[in-house]
Amino acid sequence: MSRASSVCIVVLTVWIGAGSCCGAAEGPSKAVVTVDVGKKGKPISKYIYGQFIEHLGRCIDGGIWAEMLEDRKFYYPVGVEKSPWEAFGERGSVVMQKEDSFVGDQTPWIAVGGGIAQHNLAIRKGKEYVGYVWLKPADGKTTVRVSLCWGDKPEERQSEGIACSGNDYVKSPLHFRAVSDTDRATLRIEVIDRGACFVGTASLMPADNVEGMRADTLGLLKELNSPIYRWPGGNFVSGYDWRDGIGERDRRPPRPRLAWPGQLESNDFGIDEFMTFCRLLNTEPYIAVNSGFGDAHSATKEVEYVNAPADTAMGKKRAANGHPQPYNVKWWGIGNEMYGDWQLGHMSLGHYVQKHNRFATAMRKADPSIKIVGVGDAGAWSEGMLKSCAGYMDLISEHFYCNREKEVLTEYVSMIRDNVRRKVNAHRDYRSRLDSLKGKDIRIAIDEWNYWYGPRHYNMKDAMGIAAGLHEMFRSSDIVFMANYAQTVNVIGAIKTSKTAAAFDTTGLVLKMYRQHFGQLPVEISGASLPLDMAAAVSSDGKMLTIGIVNPTKNELELPLEVKGAMLTTGGGRRWHIGGTDPMAHNEPGKRARIRIEQTVFGDGAVKSLKIPAISVSLYELPLE
């Protein structure tokens, strides 16, 4: 369907007074919008509501994953500036031992009277916390006390005493119940009797974690109901060895994140945890393989580990890790932004098309059923990939971020929409003139898209821009097959968390609202007048008409409504909207939401006009005969 195709006929008349909207022309203007239910476009792919998670900042660690301890495997020596662990006791009572370390390069040895502590843990009164510690006596016997402290006094802590003997590491469980609220709690591990001790690793999570995931974040993710998640990157993937993230979690080595110097990767959340995440959310996985520093052999083994039967070499490896059944992952991305000189392993287009084709050939040999997404970037790179790799991909990715502040609100809101349109128009051009695309339907996966201007909350103005971007994807449903909002949690996420709470950001509310209520068959809209942005669709059964409207003005508007190609019933309808008077309004975890999805139920008569709140995203559902 072209950008102009849409669903029912609706005539919308809007009077906008002089100066009522940032950037609006002076004097009243009349906008007439026609929506024709009889002119339907290609169905909107559910994958347009996809999400993207990456090991960046606090998206997974501190966002999705419930682990409270940092550097729990002691990548940094205890006591150095970068380590979150502090040593206490007499000088020399804590020493890092490199020989026969438990995991990674080193393990702390602690003498009687010494110990280690990690501060600034957030706990809440009445909430339970569970964990464990791996301990090995240095000389056959030891006694260790592990305490969760919410103050300096002896009565302001709970302690677990652990007596160990033998020559091997023993995993000892921990359980605490907080009796106070604080963001400055401390976990102390101290050797109190019988001999020195090695501490292999430790863990502490809220007891309500769901297979290692934060319960509060998981609850919101279920409401978001994204049909597909892309992982693990992003720039991260170009320096990631997937084999570091499988096997016994406590024995997986910590590594520096090569894409972002100074950041540490615990490898606690690997392929199997990602698949658990997808199972818990009833969503599809979309795995990106490392075509930066990685090679085709490693990518092929990754496909085999994930999808091969349990009686194959890699299937046996997966089964030994507790997952005998193949995961049957369909969607695989080869690399990330390999066109950019910021990307690990970046190379020229001429060299990369050969690398992509080697990867695709080997991966398809391992599993012919997989769908492959190639790296694109509208312009010379995408055109070159489509010329040389069209037989080696099913979709081509496009990324964009909008990171320029604009003083005029309407211009700010339109940036996402305009970037979607730019990508779509480029691919329409390729389809019209590239012989390599004859007989092929290689559509776009916009698998990273968002506003990006630092780790901050998203405001109401951002929500309007995201909605306008969705509208443009709906209008381009013949070209855009998948889109993955980047990123889901924290950083530039649709959901934000503190250490103890999670909340939908404004952009997350828009994604949730459209995913739940917008129709599947786009219908033709014509005559729409800026600054409003509108899209319409009918449900797959033809019983509901949905109309999405972005109003970036400070005026409430009334739109007379006429439907052609179908009739509205007398059963009324519903409106969901988010908005307010402040385009800078946002939500914060742990505080009362300033922006919420509000629902209005219309009367029994057929709807004849639509009231559109100021500074809002509104979604109308109207029953059809």
pLDDT tens digits, one per residue of 126-149: 999 999 999 999 999 999 999 999
Q: Which of 206, 232, 257 is the last residue of a domain?
A: 206
Spatial neighbors of 5 by CB under 8 A, at least 6 apart, are 39, 40, 41, 475, 522, 523, 524
Q: Are residues 481 and 554 in the same domain?
A: no
pLDDT at 309: 97
Q: Which of 172, 206, 240 is the last residue of a domain?
A: 206
Q: Are residues 134 and 222 in the same domain?
A: no
CATH number of the structural domain spanning residue 590: 2.60.40
Confidence of residue 569 (pLDDT cuts 50, 70, 90): confident
The closest of 374, 401, 404, 368 to 389, measured between CA atoms, is 374
Pairwise CA distance, residues 95 & 143, whole Å: 18
Q: Are residues 364 and 394 in the same domain?
A: yes
Q: What is the mean pLDDT of residues 11-35?
A: 41
Q: Are residues 171 and 248 in the same domain?
A: no
- 388 assigned to some structural domain: yes
The closest of 7, 8, 15, 11 to 608, measured between CA atoms, is 11
Domain span at residue 156?
Answer: 85-206
Q: What is the mean pLDDT of residues 86-90?
A: 97
CA-to-CA dists, residue 199 to 72, 109, 220, angstroms: 10, 7, 36
- Ordered DSSP codes for 254-305: PEE-TTSTT-EE---S-HHHHHHHHHHHT-EEEEEE--SS--HHHHHHHHHH
pLDDT at 146: 98
pLDDT at 528 exceeding the cut of 70 = no
- 296 assigned to some structural domain: yes
Confidence of residue 10 (pLDDT cuts 50, 70, 90): very low
595: amino acid identity, one letter: I
Pairwise CA distance, residues 261 & 147, whole Å: 33
pLDDT at 561: 81
Structural domain total, the chain? 3
Burial of 587-610, coded b for 16+ CB within 10 Å and e otherwise, reads: bebeeeeebebeeeebeeebbeeb
Q: Which of 162, 181, 206 is the last residue of a domain?
A: 206
CATH number of the structural domain spanning residue 196: 2.60.120.260
pLDDT at 11 exceeding the cut of 70 = no
Q: Are residues 136 and 194 in the same domain?
A: yes
- 156 assigned to some structural domain: yes
CATH number of the structural domain spanning residue 277: 3.20.20.80
- 615 assigned to some structural domain: no
Mean pLDDT of the chain: 92
pLDDT at 9 exceeding the cut of 50 = no
Confidence of residue 3 (pLDDT cuts 50, 70, 90): very low
What's the predicted TM-score (pTM) here? Answer: 0.94
- 616 assigned to some structural domain: no
pLDDT at 33: 64
Q: Are residues 440 and 546 in the same domain?
A: no
pLDDT at 55 exceeding the cut of 70 = yes
Pairwise CA distance, residues 141 & 196, whole Å: 8
The closest of 61, 77, 81 to 69, measured between CA atoms, is 61
Q: Are residues 328 and 450 in the same domain?
A: yes
Q: Are residues 26 and 125 in the same domain?
A: no
pLDDT tens digits, one per residue of 90-107: 999 999 999 999 999 999
Q: Are residues 35 and 97 in the same domain?
A: no
Q: Are residues 30 and 112 in the same domain?
A: no
Q: Are residues 224 and 373 in the same domain?
A: yes
Surface-to-core class of residue 191, CB atoms within 10 Å of its CB (0-12 exposed, 13-18 middle, 19+ buried): buried
Q: Are residues 438 and 392 in the same domain?
A: yes
Does residue 468 contact residue 419 with C-beta atoms inside 8 Å?
no
Q: What dihedral angle (degrees, nearest 10) is formed by the CA atoms of 408, 410, 413, 417? A: -130
Q: Which of 13-22, 49-58, 59-68, 473-482 has the lowest mean pLDDT?
A: 13-22
Helix (H) or strand (E) holding 129: strand 128-137
pLDDT at 16: 35
Bridge partners (DSSP) listed for residue 134: 171
pLDDT tens digits, one per residue of 322-352: 999 999 999 999 999 999 999 999 999 999 9
pLDDT tens digits, one per residue of 203-259: 999 999 999 999 999 999 999 999 999 999 999 999 999 999 999 999 999 999 999
Q: What is the mean pLDDT of residues 50-66?
A: 95
Residue 251's CB: how many other CB atoms inside 10 A?
14
Q: What is the mean pLDDT of residues 447-470?
A: 92
Residue 219's CB: how many other CB atoms inside 10 A?
11
- 625 assigned to some structural domain: no
